[in-house]
Amino acid sequence: MDVATAIRTRRSHKLFTGAVVPDRVLAELVELATWAPNHKFTEPWRFTVVPQRALPALVAAIGRALASRADIAPEKARAQTDKIAAILAGAGGAIAVRQALTGADLERQREDYAACACAIQNIQLAAWDRGIGSYWTTSDAFIGPALAEHWHRADDEIMVGVVVLGVAAAEQKAVRYKRPEELTVWLDVPEIGL
Ligand SMILES: Cc1cc2nc3c(=O)[nH]c(=O)nc-3n(C[C@H](O)[C@H](O)[C@H](O)COP(=O)(O)O)c2cc1C
């Protein structure tokens, strides 16, 4: 698949077939993530790989964390856990991306966060190129403080997101409300139409 096709056809998927994402593919996705642009060579990304066999333990940890939340009613916590369990039951693996806080200044952290987001995009596009769908979640149930230990997140790191991976079981519709020309200013008359 060429890059343009991968970019245009990648969609967020949550319905998966149950097929495993092999360890070697998970490792390759991490390796490809590390080629993302990053300012000052901070390489701020850190990864926690969840092979399919480790997904049940993740669901259990999420369930425990939600059940212990005083601000969520027990029925709501159970319903949310069940929903996540249903998604992960079909998934083939997952990769959490953590950001090392490499400097105290906010500008550095902002740039490092941007770099980690690029790393996640690398994972999603490279996965899609290998026939694997994915979605990026920043849901508190996945990345909230109660899961810090499960992810091996150090005190000087923040969670950027979790990429859930699997062979997609259904097509997803593309949603794009704005056209590129509505979003773009040219500093000259364009030679060609967008
Ligand atoms: C920072 C960020 C956080 C996201 N968090 C979630 C999430 O928590 N749950 C979810 O279902 N999708 C999440 N997404 C995926 C977006 O909802 C998805 O990319 C968007 O709907 C566009 O659909 P597409 O990826 O199929 O183009 C997130 C995307 C980004 C960039």
Q: What is the pLDDT along the chain (194 residues), one digit of tens a residue?
A: 999 999 999 999 999 999 999 999 999 999 999 999 999 999 999 999 999 999 999 999 999 999 999 999 999 999 999 999 999 999 999 999 999 997 779 999 999 999 999 999 999 999 999 999 999 999 999 999 999 999 999 999 999 999 999 999 999 999 999 999 999 999 988 787 66
State residue 182's pLDDT score: 94
What is the 107 CA–ligand 1 centroid distance (Å)? Answer: 24
pLDDT reported for residue 189: 80
Q: Supply the pLDDT for residue 190.
A: 76
Q: What is the DSSP letter of 53?
A: G
The residue behind tokens 């998934």 is 91
Please, what sign has the CA dihedral across residues 131, 136, 142, 145?
positive
* Domain definitions of the chain by residue range: 3-183
Does residue 47 have its Cβ closer than 6 Å to ligand 1? no
Ligand 1 centroid to Cα of residue 137, in Å, is 6
Atom of ligand 1 nearest to the CA of 124: 25
pTM reported for the whole predicted model:
0.96
CATH of segment(s) 3-183: 3.40.109.10
Residue among 12, 120, 124, 175 whose CB has most ligand 1 atoms within 8 A, to mutate: 12
Cβ–ligand 1 distance for 136 under 6 Å, the answer yes
In single-letter form, the type of residue at position 76 comes to: K
Cα maximum dimension of the chain: 60
Report pLDDT for 194.
Answer: 60
The verdict on the CB of residue 124 being under 6 Å from ligand 1 is no
Q: What whole-number distance in Å separates Cα of residue 178 and Cα of residue 3?
A: 22
